[in-house]
Amino acid sequence: METMAINKGTMPLRRRIAYGSIFILFILFMASLVFIIVPASIGYFHEGIIGYVSDISWRFFVVVIVGVLLAFGYFYKEKWQHTVIWWICLVIACAGGFFLLKAPVLDLPYIAHPASLNLDYVTFEKDINHEYAILYKVQGYTASNDIKVFEIDSHTYDTEKEKWKPQDNISADITYLPHTDVLMELKTYESN
């Protein structure tokens, strides 16, 4: 029985141009995500709509990278055991992708009308314990004595640290997206 060899070099020019264009757009899109993710790691893009976009960006970036790895793995399966492992990884990746992208989707209705919260005994912290990342945070106590922590931009951190002394009793009115905890607005004042 004679098998017919498929010559992959005979793809029509229009299809090669289409695939090449899609590949270039994909690379440009992933590069633009990197230009959002990297500044976020050094204290930018944590508040407001850009903070929401930054949160979606790193989540989507992780999902795409895992998807690309699974796509390459699909073509390099040699034994039936590899196929079983690939399917298990696919199910785990789909579940992980669902949980990663669920929070930003649930926050879509809150963009126009974010949730609000009042914090007492507010402190501003700079977290340099992570390699290649600096995190700026505001934290305080809610009315039910729960501690709530939000990431803030480096500019907000600097402004608030200059505005308040360490011994001041600070309160804050905060609007935020409830599922991703992206801070939309911060108003601080001295409580009595």
Residue 16 structure tokens = 């090669």
Q: pLDDT band at 5, cuts 50/70/90?
A: low
For the chain, give every domain's residue range: 12-110, 115-190
Q: Are 174 and 119 in contact (CB under 8 A)?
A: yes
Instruction: Identify which of 186, 103, 73 has the alpha carbon closest to the alpha carbon of residue 137.
Output: 186
- Per-residue confidence (pLDDT) for residue 8, from 0 to 100: 55
Question: Which is more confidently placed, 186 or 81?
Answer: 186
Q: Per-residue pLDDT for 49 more than 80?
A: yes
Q: Are 170 and 164 in contact (CB under 8 A)?
A: yes
User: pLDDT per residue over 102-155, tens digit each?
Assistant: 999 999 999 999 999 999 999 998 888 777 777 889 999 999 999 999 999 888
Looking at residue 171, the DSSP 8-state letter turns out to be E
Kind and range of the H or E element at 34? helix 13-41
- Per-residue confidence (pLDDT) for residue 26, from 0 to 100: 83
Q: Per-residue pLDDT for 22 more than 90?
A: no
Looking at residue 12, the DSSP 8-state letter turns out to be -
Exposed/middle/buried for 7, CB within 10 Å: 0-12, 13-18, 19+?
exposed
CATH assignment of 115-190?
2.40.50.140
3-class DSSP state of 187: strand
- Per-residue confidence (pLDDT) for residue 19, from 0 to 100: 80
- Per-residue confidence (pLDDT) for residue 6, from 0 to 100: 52
